[in-house]
Chain A
Amino acid sequence: KAGVTQTPRYLIKTRGQQVTLSCSPISGHRSVSWYQQTPGQGLQFLFEYFSETQRNKGNFPGRFSGRQFSNSRSEMNVSTLELGDSALYLCASSTLQGSGAEAFFGQGTRLTVV
């Protein structure tokens, strides 16, 4: 069974640009969540989608958005990039939404903003 796939693995963008990251969950998983990991702030929760609806959202500005498609694949978008958005963005999928579910993580997309 294929794991969670994130594309691209590495990305370099210029300040002010926007970026879209993609996540393909494990087949049959309907919940997808996104996280940001930086050396300074550690791991932080961005948002969670289940059946194409955003169920939970972390404390991030509106420049960070996401969506989930009918096949459970998800994308996250960051507009007007800032240097501080440089981070490893991780996606995780699970069969269920919420606290009781085991999540499976992808290897992440390393975004560098210059």
Chain B
Amino acid sequence: DAKTTQPNSMESNEEEPVHLPCNHSTISGTDYIHWYRQLPSQGPEYVIHGLTSNVNNRMASLAIAEDRKSSTLILHRATLRDAAVYYCILRDDGGTSYDKVIFGPGTSLSVIP
């Protein structure tokens, strides 16, 4: 079954770039890689997603390894509002497995002023 692993926690200085890694060595060809973040007492918030190519949006960039077995979420300039738990998620619409949506354990990001 597909599985994702993430570091439990990371720290960054404010206005510095942050690279949040995710390993998904058992990813299938039809799995999309999604990133969401969650602030305390709130539901998760969409950050970015991709399939094979690197992706950029106003919030972040997603770098996907050529073999797709890992990916990195990049926050270009961390702010205090970026302090949250970041989840790496695999989503698959193919096949018949029940494991359609696999959440990583999440990385708790602390931003130091």
Contact = CB atoms under 8 A, between A and B. Distances in A.
A and B physically associate: yes
A100 B41 contact: no
A54 to B, nearest CB: 12
A63 interface: no
A90 B32 contact: no
Contact of B49 (A48, A102, A107): A102
A96 to B, nearest CB: 11
B89 to A, nearest CB: 8
Chain A: interface residue count, which band? Answer: 20 to 34
Interface centre among A48, A98, A99, A100 (most CB of B within 10 A): A99
A103 interface: yes
Interface size bucket, B side?
A: 20 to 34
Interface stretch (A13-21, A39-47, A73-81): A39-47
B46 A107 contact: no
Contact of A58 (B31, B41, B49, B101): B101
Given A58-B98, A99-B93, A100-B49, A105 B43 contact: yes
Contacts of A66: none
Contact of A104 (B46, B98, B100): B46
B21 interface: no
Interface of B: 30-32, 34, 36, 41-46, 49, 87, 91-93, 98-103, 105-106
Interface of A: 4, 33, 42-45, 48, 56-59, 90, 92, 98-100, 102-108
8 contacts: A33-B101, A56-B93, A56-B100, A59-B98, A59-B99, A98-B91, A103-B36, A103-B46
